[in-house]
């Protein structure tokens, strides 16, 4: 942490006090370039993005985000509450939480600007594997595991606190929110930090969105699956396979947008739109993370997904078409190992070390109520849960889906408003 302190000090106003957009080279021994970018989101809300070099290597950088209301150009409003948000797989902070700024742009409103409009100071961190381009240098993906990510989260939180202190909002701790595997990372970070002295902690509250922090012992099939997956993924890494590319999702989204009625080259017998609907609406066919698990709620006719029930199709296709091209295989192995009791653990992340207030939010058609078990394994005394449920168990295959928490038309009333109220109180 010591080597980052001069950078944190020098850049503490970079996200809030610059007079112009800038790109410069860091003094650190890194191939990553220090860069700052500001763009308008809506009304008086702006998005700041800083790439912070943190060491040597082609992707040794932390892309930190801030979505905040301004009182003047580059001058954020002060706020007493702040949250750091972690994205999930095949995604970035922008495609998950500020999707109108994605490439392609999405019509979905976005959780980050919604919370910013409620006077919350919203921060985010992209995992390092989001940095390289499709043809970029990915030689350091082999080091991008959970241990490194825990360190990265700590640096990002410290940077956010220093920036807020320097710009009038105080240096209080932040809530940590994660979606999907970002939720598992949030659990993991909070557990690791819970074992440190109070002066070294940065998290005031924890918000996991629809993922497991631990598996109920009764979920033997899923436990066995995570153990098998972890062993397989670690062997791939040992064999030199360090990239888990997102080509399938990117192509799926692009073709569903550009040629929806053409035959799919990815899934035989389906159109490009049909392949997208099957993948997002009937995800359990190839990713049985929960009974009838699906990324987005489908409309089912004769056991076939014929449309999306909660999320607009342009938002759905923008989400997956905007995926970063690469993803770390080591991270996948580590995350599965954390849910496998017989696997060697990448970090000491016992949930019993978590004592901060916790708000679990699930989707009945995603992980849903199966994610509640982890909340009982923490030492938190302030625990709230919310599982968005439209239909009940008999129609789980059509119920509110994993990604609907972020993109559904009704997400603001069903999910975001309760979350904003809770964050304002914690």
> Is residue 69 scored above 60 in pLDDT?
yes
Nearest to 178 by CA among 360, 348, 383, 315: 360
Is residue 31 assigned to a domain? yes
Residue 333 pLDDT exceeds 60? yes
Domain annotation covers residue 26: yes
Contact 405, 411 (CB under 8 A): yes
Please, what is the Cα angle at 382 between 157 and 162, to 5 degrees?
A: 15
| CA distance from start to end of the chain | 27
CATH assignment of the domain containing 151: 3.40.50.1820
Confidence of residue 227 (pLDDT cuts 50, 70, 90): very high
pLDDT band with cut points at 50, 70 and 90 for residue 31: confident
Mean predicted lDDT score pLDDT of the chain: 93
Residue 11 lies in a domain: yes
pLDDT at 6: 32
The dihedrals phi and psi of 215, each to the nearest 5 degrees, come to: -105, 135
Dihedral over Cα of 13, 188, 111, 315: its sign: positive
Domain of residue 96 covers 2-236+325-425
User: For residue range 302-323, what is the model confidence (pLDDT) as tens digits?
Assistant: 999 999 999 999 999 999 999 9
Mean pLDDT of 325-346: 98
Can you give the pLDDT at residue 7? 34
Percent of the chain at pLDDT exceeding 70: 93
Once rounded to an integer, what is the mean pLDDT over residues 74-85?
A: 97
Look at residue 30 in the predicted model and tell me its pLDDT: 66
Question: Tell me, what's the pLDDT at 16?
Answer: 42
Residue 407 above 80 pLDDT?
A: yes
- Is residue 10 predicted with pLDDT exceeding 50? no
* Per-residue confidence (pLDDT) for residue 15, from 0 to 100: 41
**What pLDDT was estimated at residue 29?**
54
In a domain, 251, yes or no: no
Tell me how far CA of residue 394 lies from CA of 291, 397, 423, in angstroms.
Answer: 11, 8, 33
Indicate if the alpha-carbon torsion angle 153, 158, 161, 164 is positive or negative: negative
Alpha-carbon gap, residue 43 to 410, rounded angstroms: 21
Residue 246 inside a domain? The answer is no
Q: How far apart are CA 90 and CA 317, in angstroms?
A: 12
122: which strand partners? Answer: 67, 83
Mean pLDDT, residues 212-234 taken together: 97
Express each pLDDT in 358-403 by its tens digit: 999 999 999 999 999 999 999 999 999 999 999 999 999 999 999 9
Contact 195, 41 (CB under 8 A): no
- Provide the domain count of the chain: 1
Whether 167 maps to a domain, the answer reads yes
pLDDT in tens, 154-207: 999 999 999 999 999 999 999 999 999 999 999 999 999 999 999 999 999 999
Tell me if residue 360 falls in helix, strand or coil. Answer: strand
**pLDDT recorded at residue 3:** 31
Does the pLDDT value for residue 2 go beyond 80? no
Residue 250 falls inside a structural domain: no
pLDDT of residue 264 exceeding 60, the answer is: yes
Is 259 contained in some domain? no
């Amino acid at each position: 942490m010591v080597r980052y302190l001069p950078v944190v000090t020098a850049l503490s106003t970079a996200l809030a006090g610059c007079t112009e957009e800038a790109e410069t080279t860091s003094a650190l021994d890194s191939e990553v370039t220090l860069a700052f970018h500001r763009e308008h989101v809506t009304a008086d809300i702006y998005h700041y993005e800083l790439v912070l070099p943190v060491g040597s290597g082609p992707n040794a950088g932390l892309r930190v985000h801030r979505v905040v209301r301004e009182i003047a150009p580059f001058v954020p409003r002060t706020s007493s509450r702040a949250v750091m948000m972690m994205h999930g797989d095949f995604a970035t902070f922008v495609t998950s939480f500020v999707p109108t700024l994605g490439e392609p742009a999405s019509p979905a409103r976005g959780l980050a600007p919604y919370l910013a409009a409620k006077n919350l100071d919203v921060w985010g961190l992209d995992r390092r594997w989001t940095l390289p381009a499709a043809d970029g240098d990915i030689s350091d993906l082999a080091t991008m595991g959970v241990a490194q990510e825990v360190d990265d989260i700590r640096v990002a939180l410290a940077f956010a606190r220093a920036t807020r202190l320097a710009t009038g909002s105080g240096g209080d701790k932040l809530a940590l929110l994660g979606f999907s595997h970002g939720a598992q990372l949030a659990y993991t970070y909070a557990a690791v930090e819970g074992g440190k002295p109070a002066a070294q902690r940065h998290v005031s509250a924890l918000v996991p969105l629809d993922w497991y922090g631990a598996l109920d012992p009764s979920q033997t099939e899923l436990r066995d699956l995570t153990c098998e997956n972890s062993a397989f993924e670690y062997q791939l890494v040992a064999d030199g396979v360090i990239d888990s590319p997102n080509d399938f999702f990117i192509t799926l989204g692009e073709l569903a947008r550009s040629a929806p009625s053409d035959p799919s080259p990815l899934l035989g017998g389906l159109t490009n739109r049909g392949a997208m609907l099957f993948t997002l609406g009937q995800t359990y066919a190839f990713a049985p993370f929960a009974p009838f698990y699906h990324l987005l709620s489908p409309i089912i006719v004769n056991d076939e997904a014929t449309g999306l029930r909660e999320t607009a199709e342009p938002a759905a296709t923008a989400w997956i078409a905007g995926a970063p091209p690469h993803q770390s295989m080591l991270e996948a192995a580590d995350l599965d190992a954390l849910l496998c009791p017989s696997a060697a653990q990448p970090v000491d992340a016992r949930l019993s070390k978590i004592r901060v207030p916790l708000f679990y939010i699930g989707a009945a058609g995603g992980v849903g109520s199966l994610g509640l078990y982890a909340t009982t394994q923490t030492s938190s005394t302030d625990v709230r849960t919310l599982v968005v449920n439209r239909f009940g168990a008999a129609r789980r295959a059509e119920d509110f889906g994993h990604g609907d928490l972020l993109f559904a038309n009704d997400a603001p009333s069903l999910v975001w408003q309760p979350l904003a109220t809770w964050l304002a109180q914690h």
